Amino acid sequence: MSIYAAYGTNLDPAQMARRAPRSPLLTTGWLEGWRLTFGEGLPADSGALATLAEDPGQRVFVALYDLMEWDEPHLDSWEGADRRDGFGPGAGAACAYRKVTVRARTADMGTVTAWAYVLDAYEGGLPSAIQLGQLAAAAEKAGAPGSYVSDLLARECLPTEL
């Protein structure tokens, strides 16, 4: 069993059903000692990309999937983890995600070892308002507590154009 910890827009079950259709949702939980942050990756007006950074005392809501081996390459492609020269299918950004091992605490499975994608770039920058909205909607669909969703929506973001 390969357990994948989704924390960004992959929290959305419908999105994961498209990206990894044979990989069922196991449960939800928390990555203790990590925080959600944003890093370089897209042009500045598109916003920074969601990633994780180790940070004692913080935590990130995750959805845990039993990722089947035949779905993993497709998900890697979406996250740019299958190459060092781009981000996402057909994109040409300057960074990609790499995989890290994490421990997630769940109510029904206890503490489990999983893996997550972490942006292979410098931390910094602001997400777009659209990105934050998508991330909050995905978290809500996955069953994140209302306070977690509210905190996401309250984050500083790039100003929107009128």
- 3-class secondary-structure state, position 4: strand
Q: What is the pLDDT, as a whole number, of residue 143?
A: 97
Q: Identify the three-state secondary structure at position 31.
A: strand
Helix (H, G, I), strand (E, B) or coil at 82: coil
pLDDT at residue number 162:
47
The pLDDT assigned to 43 comes to 55
Give the pLDDT of residue 121: 79
Res 157: pLDDT: 92
What pLDDT is attached to residue 125? 83
Residues 6+ apart with CB under 8 A from 45: 128, 158
Which residues make Cβ contacts (< 8 Å) with residue 151, sequence separation at least 6? none
The CATH homologous superfamily for domain 3-153 is Gamma-glutamyl cyclotransferase-like (3.10.490.10)
Q: What is the pLDDT of residue 159?
A: 78
- Strand-pair partners of 64: 5, 27
The predicted model scores a pTM of 0.88
If the chain, 162 residues long, is cut into consecutive pieces of 10 residues, what is the mean pLDDT of each piece? Answer: 93 95 97 93 70 96 96 87 51 68 96 94 86 96 98 90 54
CA atoms in the 13 A half-sphere facing the CB of 61: 23
